[in-house]
Structure 1
Amino acid sequence: MPTETGAAAGGEHLYLVDGSGYIFRAYHALPPLTRADGTPVNAVLGFANIMARFLADLDNGDRPTHLAVVFDAGRRTFRNDIYPQYKAHRPPAPEDLIPQFALIREATAAFNVPALELEGYEADDIIATLAATAKARGARCTIVSSDKDLMQLVGGGVDMMDPVKIRSIGPDQVIEKFGVPPEKVVDVQALMGDPTDNVPGVPGIGQKTAAELINTYGDLDTLLARTGEIKQPKRRENLETHADLARISRELVRLKADVPMDTGFDDLRIRAIDSAKLLPFLEENDFRSLRNKLGSRLAAPLAGTAARAADAAAVAAKPAEAPAAPGTTAYETVTDLAALKRWIARARAAGIVAFDTETTSLDAMQAELVGFSLSIEAGKAAYVPLRHRARGGLALDGEVAAQIPVADALDALKPLLEADDVLKVGQNLKYDMLVLRQHGIAIAPFDDTMLISYALEGGAHGHGMDELASLHLGHQTVKYDEVTGTGKDRIGFDEVGLAEATRYAAEDADITLRLHQALKPRLFRERVLTVYETLERPLSPVLVDMEAAGILVDRAELARLSADFAARMAEMEAEIHQLAGRSFNVGSPKQLGEILFDEMKLPGGKRMKTGAWGTGADVLEELAGQGHALPQKILDWRQLAKLKSTYTDALQAQINPKTGRVHTSYAMASTSTGRLSSTDPNLQNIPIRTEEGRKIRRAFVAAPGTVLMSADYSQIELRLLAHIADIGALKDAFARGIDIHAMTASEVFGIPVEGMDPMIRRRAKAINFGIIYGISAFGLANQLGIPQGEAGAYIKRYFERFPGIRAYMDAMKELAHRQGFVGTIFGRKCHVPGINDKSAARRAFMERAAINAPIQGSAADIMRRAMIRMPDALREAGLAAKMLLQVHDELVFEVPDAEVAATKAVVVRVMQGAALPAVDISVPLVVEAGTGHSWAEAH
């Protein structure tokens, strides 16, 4: 761009916004979002929010005279002619971001701000050119970016503004970053290279060494001319061998300040927001919330908001603090409202805040809020106590008494947690969302470090904060037991002193923020960003609603079942004593072992390390299979005892006194395949193949005026096996609606489907489902009660008829051994630790897991996609049905009597189409739905 002449521009100030950097910040800040025509717009909305806030902040501060947003025009630039491998390793943009690039340019224009880009050049080159033009005019220039590559431009009236940390970057900050002044940054970068952009640099020379060399020799050319003076042999050899690479690297990192542009400096003069441009853009993209937020400002030139002014004043009222040194922490106990508002203002300015709650219970539906913590910068955090009391419930002491009233604190906090331009970061944030839901607060937008970790490394390790802190930060956290004690001496968190509470709770927020900084960028690099954005994060608010809804339980029916089970157990005990020849404690494994193996001399007994006989279910099942009556009676008694203690007794105690319902909690990151697990109570382990198990489901009932609807995927894992392994015979059978088990029996055993013996079909069914889990001949023999040789022959014939299944299994095992994980059809990585273990048994177990994971994981992903879409689909249809439970391949709804048919149609449609458009499965997904007053009747 040619230098413009004319009178010196006294007071001119150009702001150049690095738009490309803002795009990815906006994309990662918001969950997936589409407008009415299905176009993804989450990044567009995030960018528009940033623009609105940025313009308002400029009005409140040192307002510029000129402004432009600069973008990259494409991936290929003149630098690729210099070095073809430049940026060759950069992964492609996420699929749902690509269509948003053009819309983001439109957003910039809609705010009446010039959007600049030029083919063959990077945004940084345009920024360098415009900065040079500003300097030539005598104007100031502020580059709004934290990109280190732009730091070479700082000085002579040019500075930078970090948009995340909201801090100015001048020559002193550049020296702090690179160890050299701005004019020497290019030489340092040429030596150290940049693996992100594939700038080669000189091997073995990092930033510290590069700065030392440039400070010693003055510049790159002098250094390369005097390499013989360098005393370290390896360093000298590297510089001499790779001198040309250093010179090439310098050309790659040096920004061009003479880009030929048609836009002149005066074309960038700042302009008022034009409602005629902005309003149609907001309406077209369904950005009603932003339209309402802007309100009267649409007609005002860069008008600031009262909220922003208040935030700025609150920040200004607090003295600036030096950033925490590495490895140090600065935690504050906030006990007055003014201090809390200062933290909130700083969070609003930062655009990101880590958040965590402390409560009285792990049951989010009954937990009282004790306090919360905030962090916006690594090493700095605050804990806000709300309900701490003196130990033992005695009168409050002076320290504990100084707390912000709960209502006042939540009134101040609510706008921050609901602000759509501030990203809230939590660890297992679903719990905090459910707690605050009781106070009328909906946290959004958000990121969850537990779910980010799970998307990256599901199955590789646990995803709790303590483990993640140790694994990724090398930090041992303060444990809950350290501040509350254990056993009979444990106290509630509300009785913990404020100093100790702050040490524990503030660290939670601090570590969560650090984990977010460490893990979030990996999602894009490791190609699991879509998994997180489409399968993990959007499911949290859905589960919050489900857990809050709960399901009604008939306490009288549970009590009746408990009494029935107790009576039957007593009858069984009498029979067991008669079979044993004497009385004993049926619930005692030790006494049972003595009777079975010492007194009755039954074969196959094995002693454990304790010396006692083993009497686990596998031992008893083997003995029962040999025709012994006592082991079978013990198994029957144990099943009833478990049902009674785990369900009919325990469920009565787990009924919420406020709602009359049980509210199970769904663990989102506990399996390796993406399947949800249910706890407190666990509703996924209720046996449905026994009459007693089905009786328990009778106690789960619909509220008056409604019915329960159960919608279940039919044979989804077998269908996915047919699709993933590409088994033509199975795919054809599913497409034609043929009984898949009868068809398998016909193929394997060579008998016609018509008039088939049900026992033969049952064997084929056991093989079909067993193959998915890598069943062995021994396992199939035990399951069917047949000789192992016969079971082995069945499996052999199965693979002969369906060779593609064996090929699939071998491929998954090989893949798992090679890379340590397998994947689902939606890109989820299912890690299989131990796949290369020295133990043959461990390897075999993980090989079976590797075979099953893509199938079970894909089924879990389909279920997640259905659950995520379901609330909006029901709402758009004007239906009041509530999704209550997810159990394996089944969803349970509470449906108004008058809406049963309409709800069933929506539910079936959403579930059957859940894989689309991401994956077009080559077999039909079939959903069977039923209704009834109880869960048992509906299933």
Structure 2
Amino acid sequence: MTKKLLLIDGNSLAFRAFYAMYNQLDRMISHKGLHTNALVAFNNFLDQIVDPMQPDLAVVAWDAASGKETFRGELFPEYKDGRSKAPSEFKEQFPYLREMVALHGLRNYEQPGLEADDIIGTYSRLGEQAGYTVIIVTGDQDLTQLATDKITVNVTKKGVTEIERYTPDYIMEKFNLTPLQIIEKKALTGDTSDNYPGITKVGEKTALKLLAEYHDIDNLYAHVDDMKQSKLKDNLINDRQLAFCARKLATILTDATLALPLEEIEYRGIDYDNLVTFYENLDFKKQLAKIKALQKSGQISGSQTTVEKSINVIKLQDDNLQAVAMLGTKIAFHIEMVGQNYHIDDMVGFVIGSPATGYYGSRDVTLLQRPELKSVIENAGIIKNVFNIKAQLILLKRLGIKLKGTKFDFLLASYLLDTTDNDNELATLAQRFDLYMTSDEDIYGKGAKFAIPEDDARVLAHLANKADILMQVEQSAFDALQEHEQTHLYTEIELPLAQVLADMEYQGIKIDQKRLRDIGSDLEGRIHAIEDAIYIEAGEKFNINSPKQLGVLLFEKMGLPVVKRTKTGYSTAVDVLEKLAAQAPIVDHILQYRQLAKLKSTYVEGLLTVVHDQDSKIHTRFLQTLTQTGRLSSVDPNLQNIPMRTEEGRQIRTAFVPSEPNWQIVGADYSQIELRVLAHMTGDKNMQRAFLNGEDIHAETARAVFGLKDDAPVDALMRRTAKAVNFGIVYGISDFGLANNLGISRAEAKNFIDTYFKEFPQIHAWMAKIKEIAHEQGFVETIAKRRRYLPEISSKNFNLRSFAERTAMNSPIQGSAADIIKIAMIKVADALRNHHMQARMLLQVHDELIFEAPMDEIQELTELVTNVMDSAVVLDVPMRVESHYGNTWYDAK
């Protein structure tokens, strides 16, 4: 087998790594205060590109100093002048980058008088002569000049983990150049990044034409006198010295004298022992997990960490199904599926068992329907540990099985313990408890490379490892919940809510597809009419959906004032067009066109594509572990986002209908729940009095901020302004934000806010206190002890810190409102069951619950739901629930 030599351009890749995750700079900080964004990205490069390669020889070349201290600096003193200094956040990571390289088994090498390119160039030629296949990895296309049949230059793009392979054939195909002509091109164009010029006014296009005809600058200058008289000819003659100087500067040395012989850059392999310590110091949890998973699977040995035993799984078949009945009274159960949508995605297999009795599994999920297994799953006396109980409930419902006896859902517990981590993979979450296993990506691949292994034993072993984690982690997770005072939140709210949500999702909501298509046809007709009006006003046809064409029309041809620019031209965003609407009728028509086109594509066509053929229903998924506030989120599709602002949008709701004849849709929603929670949590007597007296809180606020008498009338504009102030305060709005929302001056906005806090002084005091608490403990809590962690609360970045402070003020309010609606859902579901009603809960839209019920239950249902929701949680102010019903969702509002 041909031996491999790996040469890595350390400086270029380190800079690329830093900027690949630059947007994470203030979030990627170790517990010691070290920025780690470049380290994380560079480590990803080593993991994904280098480690799998297993070269025989390997070196990471670094610049010993600036290029000015090399022969290039002597040749051209301005070489690399003007380069900005490296950011301090990058410099502090640099020593750790070199340590990381060494721990991955690679030699670091630099040599005074040489740039990293020259080290790579020389090693590449030595390696080629010694019979090695040479692989260069760089972020700099200059090194493509080194490509030969034995030397491949891999240039990273989109960060540091995606590469483009440059061979002589590929360079010819892409540039119509040989590798050595890369140097000649630089001779003609110069290099602005290295600050040396080429021929005046010769760019890449001209350079490629010249090289296609003359091959190199020697031949070009041999024939320059034969060229027709032109400005190009004059520039070539005048800049002859610059061209030959540029060629020397661009040429990478391949014959430098290196102090470190080729045979001494042997690849040593990864030093797992010390790499674990390195990762621990940098808080690299995912990287630690990967090492420990490899140890657990026996692929590597030796470590300073505890390695767990490999888990065996017994394949279930007809002759051993009865063994499941002997597993005991506490087991783990897990069904694996392809993808995220448990309503429709295929199931990969399942596993069931415990460490004491062993694990059993199969790729054939229909075995679960057999009496020997079904009886165990449906036995509430056998306690099951699961991961993502809602998914497990619905997957089993698809098989006609009811999951009972579940007390521990690792996903729900993990979510409550840390809402900032949206990685919902079991292997990742287990790392918090120092438990490690192979990730799903390592087993199945990712994206286009996703595939279920043909080896059933490998899949089942992976599932058994998951089940074993579920058994091991339970006590630690419950201990952590108890320490956080979140046991009640878990056992009395989140766990029972999962069952309620599973029932709602599985039930689904009926769609009148004909009605939806009729709405689409009506929208299409209106869109065409507006389209024609736009063309008439424009005086020409153009692509209305093209921001570029629209920008040219509005700002160049029609001469409208430019409000904002983007990197690619004029901004035609909604906020820009709204500012211009009064100046030209065409702008208002464009806004109408966009609004109707979005309704048609997103809500008509989009909803029709997700209606299930079997029951003509939509089965959304409510994400219970996504938001940091505890609010539910709806996906596939998002039914919490059906438009309400316009009549055209509201018409979409007329297609949501009862699933049974002579039934109706019922809606029940909390009125001003967040303001009521605010009054309760802050203890503000003035706001509490308004709610206790049943007064209009927005009208009362209007009287306060506008300085009106207690009994003075409040007009609609005043009330709207007061409403914006009320809800703005809840979200920690600034005078700038309020001014922008209301279209008033900052001075007026500040006066509104100051007056508001005079009227409701305890709200102001509470907000100051909650910010103080957030800074002290790094999190805030809801009434149910749900935590919102605020990692940016101590950030040196003012904007991030300010956002965290606003979040600290809002999260207890919004999160407590989420707690209340969840508690109400559980109690409503219990009440429907206890009253033996046919009515079904279908949707939750933040503060609103949607039901369907037979006509003869409507009165009882509205009274029951109103009473239960009103009393779900006792606050210092009364809750208020409004309910409506009708033939469609539209009518139930």
Compute the TM-score of the two structures, normalised by the length of structure 1.
0.59
Alignment of 1:537-686 (within 5 A): 537-580=495-538, 582-596=540-554, 600=559, 602-608=561-567, 611-624=568-581, 627=583, 631-686=587-642
1:384 maps to which of 354, 359, 362: 362
CA contact (8 A) 1:380 1:510 kept: no
Q: 1:456 to 1:559 in 2, by over 3 A?
A: same
CA contact (8 A) 1:710 1:930 kept: yes
User: Which residue of structure 1 lines up, in the alignment, with residue 888 of structure 2?
Assistant: 934
CA contact (8 A) 1:378 1:514 kept: no
Structure 1 Cα separation of the partners of residues 741 and 399 of structure 2: 51
Structure 1 Cα separation of the partners of residues 589 and 687 of structure 2: 40
CA contact (8 A) 2:509 2:618 kept: yes
Structure 1 Cα separation of the partners of residues 815 and 331 of structure 2: 32
Q: Which moved more, 1:774-783 or 1:893-902?
A: 774-783
Structure 2 Cα separation of the partners of residues 414 and 827 of structure 1: 37
Does residue 846 of structure 2 align to residue 885 of structure 1?
A: no
Does residue 391 of structure 2 align to residue 434 of structure 1?
A: no
Shift of the alpha carbon at 1:352?
A: 2.5
Structure 2 Cα separation of the partners of residues 416 and 445 of structure 1: 10
Alignment of 1:190-269 (within 5 A): none
Tell me the amino acid that sits aligned with residue 778 of structure 1.
F
CA contact (8 A) 1:664 1:683 kept: yes
CA contact (8 A) 1:462 1:670 kept: no
1:327 maps to which of 289, 308, 314: 308
2:663 maps to which of 706, 711, 728: 706
CA displacement, residues 19-44 of structure 1 (integer Å, 9 cap, x when unaligned): xxxxxxxxxxxxxxxxxxxxxxxxxx
Q: 1:623 to 1:462 in 2, by over 3 A?
A: farther
Q: 1:375 to 1:480 in 2, by over 3 A?
A: farther
User: Which residue of structure 1 lines up, in the alignment, with residue 802 of structure 2?
Assistant: 844
User: Which residue of structure 2 lines up, in the alignment, with residue 459 of structure 1?
Assistant: 420
Structure 1 Cα separation of the partners of residues 459 and 690 of structure 2: 62
User: Which residue of structure 1 lines up, in the alignment, with residue 875 of structure 2?
Assistant: 921
Tell me the amino acid that sits aligned with residue 608 of structure 2.
Q
CA contact (8 A) 1:469 1:477 kept: no
Structure 2 Cα separation of the partners of residues 479 and 632 of structure 1: 50
Shift of the alpha carbon at 1:689?
A: 1.9
CA contact (8 A) 2:433 2:473 kept: yes
Q: Count residues in correspondence.
A: 585
1:424 maps to which of 384, 392, 411: 384
Q: 1:590 to 1:332 in 2, by over 3 A?
A: farther
User: Which residue of structure 2 lines up, in the alignment, with residue 263 of structure 1?
Assistant: none
Shift of the alpha carbon at 1:904?
A: 1.1
CA contact (8 A) 2:422 2:626 kept: no
CA contact (8 A) 1:333 1:498 kept: no
CA contact (8 A) 2:349 2:460 kept: no
Structure 1 Cα separation of the partners of residues 397 and 600 of structure 2: 33
CA contact (8 A) 2:324 2:372 kept: no
Shift of the alpha carbon at 1:668?
A: 0.5
Structure 2 Cα separation of the partners of residues 845 and 772 of structure 1: 14
Shift of the alpha carbon at 1:616?
A: 3.9
2:411 maps to which of 450, 453, 462: 450
Tell me the amino acid that sits aligned with residue 307 of structure 2.
P
CA contact (8 A) 2:311 2:461 kept: no
Q: 1:866 to 1:416 in 2, by over 3 A?
A: same
Question: Aligned-pair RMSD on alpha carbons?
Answer: 2.7
Shift of the alpha carbon at 1:932?
A: 0.3
Alignment of 1:103-142 (within 5 A): none
SS of the residue corresponding to residue 669 of structure 2 reads strand
Structure 2 Cα separation of the partners of residues 442 and 532 of structure 1: 21
CA contact (8 A) 1:727 1:805 kept: yes
CA contact (8 A) 1:480 1:504 kept: no
SS of the residue corresponding to residue 521 of structure 1 reads helix
Structure 1 Cα separation of the partners of residues 672 and 383 of structure 2: 40
Does residue 297 of structure 2 align to residue 337 of structure 1?
A: no
Q: 1:338 to 1:936 in 2, by over 3 A?
A: same
Does residue 697 of structure 2 align to residue 719 of structure 1?
A: no
SS of the residue corresponding to residue 841 of structure 2 reads strand
1:733 maps to which of 690, 710, 713: 690
User: Which residue of structure 1 lines up, in the alignment, with residue 718 of structure 2?
Assistant: 760
Shift of the alpha carbon at 1:551?
A: 1.0
SS of the residue corresponding to residue 793 of structure 1 reads helix
Structure 2 Cα separation of the partners of residues 926 and 524 of structure 1: 33
Structure 1 Cα separation of the partners of residues 888 and 675 of structure 2: 29
Shift of the alpha carbon at 1:376?
A: 1.6
Structure 1 Cα separation of the partners of residues 542 and 688 of structure 2: 55
Q: Which moved more, 1:469-478 or 1:651-660?
A: 469-478
Shift of the alpha carbon at 1:409?
A: 5.6
Tell me the amino acid that sits aligned with residue 646 of structure 2.
T
User: Which residue of structure 1 lines up, in the alignment, with residue 463 of structure 2?
Assistant: 505
User: Which residue of structure 1 lines up, in the alignment, with residue 351 of structure 2?
Assistant: 373
CA contact (8 A) 1:597 1:605 kept: no
Structure 1 Cα separation of the partners of residues 892 and 816 of structure 2: 26
SS of the residue corresponding to residue 886 of structure 1 reads strand
Q: 1:581 to 1:512 in 2, by over 3 A?
A: farther
Shift of the alpha carbon at 1:643?
A: 2.1
Q: Give the unaligned 5+ runs of structure 1.
A: 1-324, 388-405
Q: Which moved more, 1:894-903 or 1:415-424?
A: 415-424
User: Which residue of structure 2 lines up, in the alignment, with residue 104 of structure 1?
Assistant: none
Shift of the alpha carbon at 1:798?
A: 1.3
Structure 2 Cα separation of the partners of residues 692 and 331 of structure 1: 59
Alignment of 1:764-843 (within 5 A): 764-843=722-801
Shift of the alpha carbon at 1:794?
A: 1.6
SS of the residue corresponding to residue 614 of structure 2 reads coil
User: Which residue of structure 1 lines up, in the alignment, with residue 231 of structure 2?
Assistant: none
SS of the residue corresponding to residue 870 of structure 1 reads helix
CA contact (8 A) 2:428 2:439 kept: no
SS of the residue corresponding to residue 893 of structure 1 reads strand
Tell me the amino acid that sits aligned with residue 391 of structure 2.
Y
Shift of the alpha carbon at 1:469?
A: 3.3
SS of the residue corresponding to residue 851 of structure 2 reads strand
CA contact (8 A) 2:508 2:620 kept: yes
Q: Give the unaligned 5+ runs of structure 2.
A: 1-305
Alignment of 1:131-170 (within 5 A): none
Q: 1:765 to 1:568 in 2, by over 3 A?
A: same
CA contact (8 A) 2:562 2:570 kept: no
Q: 1:930 to 1:907 in 2, by over 3 A?
A: same
Alignment of 1:48-127 (within 5 A): none
Structure 2 Cα separation of the partners of residues 755 and 496 of structure 1: 75
Structure 1 Cα separation of the partners of residues 673 and 650 of structure 2: 22
CA displacement, residues 70-121 of structure 1 (integer Å, 9 cap, x when unaligned): xxxxxxxxxxxxxxxxxxxxxxxxxxxxxxxxxxxxxxxxxxxxxxxxxxxx
SS of the residue corresponding to residue 343 of structure 2 reads coil
User: Which residue of structure 2 lines up, in the alignment, with residue 11 of structure 1?
Assistant: none
User: Which residue of structure 1 lines up, in the alignment, with residue 374 of structure 2?
Assistant: 414
Structure 2 Cα separation of the partners of residues 360 and 770 of structure 1: 42
User: Which residue of structure 1 lines up, in the alignment, with residue 333 of structure 2?
Assistant: 355
User: Which residue of structure 2 lines up, in the alignment, with residue 82 of structure 1?
Assistant: none
Structure 2 Cα separation of the partners of residues 815 and 594 of structure 1: 52
SS of the residue corresponding to residue 643 of structure 2 reads coil
Tell me the amino acid that sits aligned with residue 934 of structure 1.
T
Structure 1 Cα separation of the partners of residues 579 and 358 of structure 2: 60
Structure 1 Cα separation of the partners of residues 492 and 413 of structure 2: 12
Structure 1 Cα separation of the partners of residues 652 and 417 of structure 2: 38
Shift of the alpha carbon at 1:776?
A: 2.2
Shift of the alpha carbon at 1:921?
A: 0.8
Q: 1:937 to 1:589 in 2, by over 3 A?
A: same
